[in-house]
Structure 1
Amino acid sequence: MSDETPQGSRAASTRALEERHDETPQGSASGAASTRALEEREQQDYIMFDKFRDECGVFGIFGHPEAANLTYLGLYALQHRGQESAGIATADGEKMRLSRAMGHVADAFDEQALETLPGHIAIGHTRYSTAGESRLQNAQPILIDCAHGQIAIAHNGNLVNARELRDRLVRDGSIFQTSSDTEVVLHLYARSREHSVEDALVESIGQVSGAFSFVLLTKDRLIAARDPHGFRPLALGRLDDAYIVCSETCALDLIGATYVRDVEPGELLVISDGGLRSLKPFPPAQLSHCVFEHVYFARPDSYVFGKSVNEVRTELGRILASESPVDADVVSPIPDSGVCAATGFAEASGIPMQMGLIRNHYIGRTFIQPQQAIRHFSVRIKLNPVRSVLEGKRVVLVDDSLVRGTTSRKIVKMVRAAGAKEVHVRISCPPTISPCFYGVDTPSRSELIAATQQLDEIREFIEADSLAYLSLDGLLRAVKPDGRSYCTSCYTGVYPVAFPRDEQAYLQLALKAVE
């Protein structure tokens, strides 16, 4: 689910750098220039951590009298997948209702709000918007009324041909209410001449390309669809007689539901009073599960793509320790996302693990853009070192990823200031060299430090004594035996689904910066 609003100066600067990227030398002159640019960007990081961000979490339930309440809980479990806005749509067989609000799930819905959402069917959505001005207009689910009746949709992913489809629809008279690529599907559906809901959906979804895990709601049905590549996760569960579909199994755990299976790539599920029907209406494609779900996005207590996220991340740490050993006194994760990999690293290396950094979990949006007077606090607002763990020690800091390098630089400085004798950084994924076009909010290539800097230049910039990344082979071994079924485009620059070559169009679809 991306936004298509033009991006002004960011798109222009990104476009210019993309055009010259392949001609950029890797020598010392370019390294010095890139380092200066990174130091300037460090002043703009404020309090946002240097991480990729998944755009959405989706949840749907059919056949439960407290559908809205359970959807609220499901979204609560999926809060990590989207913290900008939340929405719930319900149906009772006759009428559909919708409620959306900005903020976290707990802020968006209270008991009174949930009481306005009766029905035994519901879908919900959590959304991320990481830059620019956010708008309730772009929150999901999106609900429309057309010749086929009312329908609501929630989406995790990114449709790479949405701009082309949108332009065609606008020429044909469609009026769009949002800047979301998801709305394209609804306009295609409304224009379909197919007679049944299922056939109209198959026709409309069949025209889009890219990554999608959809949950859709009509007055009497819950429908789920997943793209043939299987980019984004989507699980199917049961709670007594009710059916649930959701982005991650942790949402099933919270409401006491049982995991049944994943919605298969290319599958469309229709759930009604008659039960569950499975359709396979879309042509098969090369499986391309997002490997970054295992590296960072998903909660460690979830099963994603049939694998325990915790076990995969721990194995990433074990392999990292074997590939890049180091003499040290303590392994310290960068919380929270580095904990599993640090556990595996400590286990394989024999170096004890301790929490040398403590995270403050209560930072709200108030601090996302602090005033100039307190910007220098930056990372310290979220992390604080434990001097008794770090002082006089050779420390291995383990994190899941290193994107721009600016946050890592601040953390290394903080650990040294706490008395660490040496600071070694280990990253449990390969160097990130390319942006994602399949539902992840990634920086432009110019902002990816590994795309323009050699390993030793990155080490110098973050001021670590040593730096090592996990190899791509090591990453794929951790998700064995089917490592070939994963998308690794952010590490290789090889994209399984082509995106429009028009620079402005695909940047608008991929970077999701301004709304």
Structure 2
Amino acid sequence: MYELLMDDKMHEECGVIGVYTSKPELTTQLVYYGLFALQHRGQESAGIAISTEENHIEQHKGMGLVSEIFTNDVVHRLSGNVAIGHVRYSTTGTSKIENAQPLVVNYKKGSFALAHNGNLVNADSLKEILEDEGVIFQTTTDTEVVANMMARNYKGNIVKSIKNVMEIIKGAFAFTIMDDKSLIGVRDHFGLRPLCIGKRDDGYLLASESCAISAMGGEFIRDVEPGEIVVINENGIESIKSTKYAQKKSCIFEFVYFARPDSTIDGINVYQARFNAGKQLAKEAPVKADLVFSVPDSGTPAAIGYAQELGIPYGLGLIKNRYAKRTFIEPNQELREEGVKLKLSVLKELVKDKVVVIIDDSIVRGTTSKQLAKMVRDAGAKEVHMRIASPPVTHSCFFGINTPFRNYLIGATKSLEEMTEFIQADSLQFLSIDGLIKATGKENGFCLACLNGDYPMEVPNFK
């Protein structure tokens, strides 16, 4: 809870993994490596489901970090040819073990497991219909809605069941699904959530990001296309393309903040996009300064690009405490505003008597930016200028990213002058939407709803 109180970022959605291998003794280790590489996408819970040699799906999941949940005993106990994994940050449903994924469903035709990254906008109405028909839910996640619908639509072919369900659900989703013999990857028709395919000598891999493919010793092949179903089994890999046209809308914040910089998503290298954003920001909002530094870590590539473009020295003005991510001591109101100091400290010797530019990837509430500006000024900086490598966040996301309601978004409630006054910086400027798109190297194909309110589908009306 404390992490939410002190943080001023959109929160990661989730991460999914899939493994199909001819070496069952390696499967759990591969999933572990993949989930470890995706830990940045969710630190709340993690889990694995695996098809054993007896064609039975076993699972192991828990609350906390991947390294805490998957001990050596667990990794060496579970073996099989097919497995999926999940790391979770809750965007629907509360933080409890019942909501940890993957979900394993046993029904009269057999069993399957499902892991989901994203969020459905019509989950509540679908759940109400299912409950009226007698379905009893064990969790509070929209993933269980999908699992129940898949089981009810099953007519002897799991792919047909998935296709039928895809026609009914609305929202953002990247699924990894498995039964006792096959691994399946699914991406929503807009491609809002990422999913990619990798290959090893002994099989195939699925992952939310290419960095996880590398961690599992695989070679990145390609991204799953929007609306595509990928089926992997003993016959190899089969692609089932969607016949339903939808304009591609990849989440722009994967490139701003969520994804690891060593990942490539939909042909865009994340580090390069952030570096380009910094260079573009320097062109749009230059400052005559002595020093440029970032709010680590996601702001660092942009800060390097900004400094390089203007010929200003780049330094480590803020030092990050790597062990402050998870804390369970909730401070009182008097100390809560000091919470950012647990995560970041100022290198006073570097900023003293200097005009500095702080580069951050985004601002959501503005509270952290305000505290950082004060910390840097208190450390002796002559002037403190804030530059943000993305446009103001003005609308809530309903597609698997945990953003506050709109009235808590500083970009939706204050003008640029009011935001500058609120964070008490000498100046504040944001990258333009056009500048952000230009930084990706593409001309279109992004969901920008949190920046401009243009949602790719109908969303709940409590914006």
TM-score range, shorter chain: over 0.9
Q: 2:20 is matched with which residue? A: 62
Q: 1:485 is matched with which residue? A: 445
Q: 2:156 is matched with which residue? A: 195
Q: 1:445 is matched with which residue? A: 406
Q: 1:297 is matched with which residue? A: 258
Q: 2:52 is matched with which residue? A: 92
Q: 1:223 is matched with which residue? A: 184
**What RMSD in Å do the two structures reach over aligned CA positions?**
1.7
CA apart distance, 1:205: 2.5
- Per-residue CA distance 1:75-105 (angstroms, 9 max, x = gap): 0000000000000000135111001100000
CA apart distance, 1:281: 4.0
CA apart distance, 1:374: 4.3
Relative CO higher for 1 or 2, CA cutoff 8 Å, sep ≥ 6?
1
CA apart distance, 1:121: 1.1
Higher mean alpha-carbon deviation, 244-253 vs 200-209, is at 200-209
Cα contact 2:15–2:117 (8 A) shared by 1: yes
Q: 1:462 is matched with which residue? A: 423
Identity %: 46
CA apart distance, 1:388: 1.1
Q: Does 1:320 align with 2:247?
A: no
Q: Does 1:101 align with 2:62?
A: yes
TM-score, normalising length from structure 2? 0.96
Q: Does 1:181 align with 2:139?
A: no
Q: 1:51 is matched with which residue? A: 9
3-state DSSP of counterpart to 1:377: coil
5+ residue gaps, structure 1, are 1-43, 508-515
CA apart distance, 1:239: 1.2
CA 193–422 in structure 1, closer or farther in 2 if over 3 Å, else same:
closer
CA 308–68 in structure 1, closer or farther in 2 if over 3 Å, else same:
same
Higher mean alpha-carbon deviation, 484-493 vs 247-256, is at 247-256
Higher mean alpha-carbon deviation, 410-419 vs 143-152, is at 143-152
Cα contact 2:44–2:90 (8 A) shared by 1: yes
- Per-residue CA distance 1:233-265 (angstroms, 9 max, x = gap): 101001113100000011111122100000111
CA apart distance, 1:371: 4.3
Cα contact 1:47–1:381 (8 A) shared by 2: no
Q: Does 1:77 align with 2:37?
A: yes
5+ residue gaps, structure 2, are none
Alignment of 1:394-405 (within 5 A): 394-405=355-366
CA apart distance, 1:147: 2.9
TM-score, normalising length from structure 1? 0.86
Q: 1:212 is matched with which residue? A: 173
CA distance in 2, matches of 1:270, 1:218: 11
3-state DSSP of counterpart to 2:444: helix
- Per-residue CA distance 1:378-415 (angstroms, 9 max, x = gap): 11111010011100000000000011100000000000
3-state DSSP of counterpart to 2:161: helix
Cα contact 1:47–1:367 (8 A) shared by 2: no
Q: Does 1:495 align with 2:460?
A: no
CA distance in 2, matches of 1:261, 1:416: 46
Q: Which amino acid aligns with 2:82?
A: I
Q: 1:112 is matched with which residue? A: 73
Q: 2:210 is matched with which residue? A: 249
CA distance in 2, matches of 1:250, 1:313: 16
Cα contact 2:52–2:81 (8 A) shared by 1: yes
CA 387–47 in structure 1, closer or farther in 2 if over 3 Å, else same:
farther
CA 67–384 in structure 1, closer or farther in 2 if over 3 Å, else same:
same
- Per-residue CA distance 1:466-485 (angstroms, 9 max, x = gap): 0000001101111233x320
CA 45–225 in structure 1, closer or farther in 2 if over 3 Å, else same:
closer
CA apart distance, 1:173: 1.0
In structure 2, which of residues 225, 239, 252 is the aligned counterpart of residue 264 of structure 1? Answer: 225
CA distance in 2, matches of 1:477, 1:491: 15
Q: 1:416 is matched with which residue? A: 377
CA distance in 1, matches of 2:212, 2:295: 25
Q: Which amino acid aligns with 2:50?
A: T
CA 400–163 in structure 1, closer or farther in 2 if over 3 Å, else same:
same
- Per-residue CA distance 1:25-79 (angstroms, 9 max, x = gap): xxxxxxxxxxxxxxxxxxx888632000122000000013211111011000000
Residue correspondences, number: 459
CA distance in 1, matches of 2:124, 2:241: 26
Cα contact 2:325–2:343 (8 A) shared by 1: no
Higher mean alpha-carbon deviation, 257-266 vs 140-149, is at 140-149
Q: 2:351 is matched with which residue? A: 390
Q: Which amino acid aligns with 1:418?
A: A
Q: Which amino acid aligns with 2:9?
A: K
Q: Which amino acid aligns with 2:458?
A: A
CA distance in 2, matches of 1:436, 1:106: 30
CA distance in 2, matches of 1:428, 1:405: 14
Q: 1:381 is matched with which residue? A: 342
Cα contact 1:222–1:271 (8 A) shared by 2: yes
3-state DSSP of counterpart to 1:53: coil
Q: Which amino acid aligns with 2:17?
A: F
Q: Which amino acid aligns with 1:103?
A: G
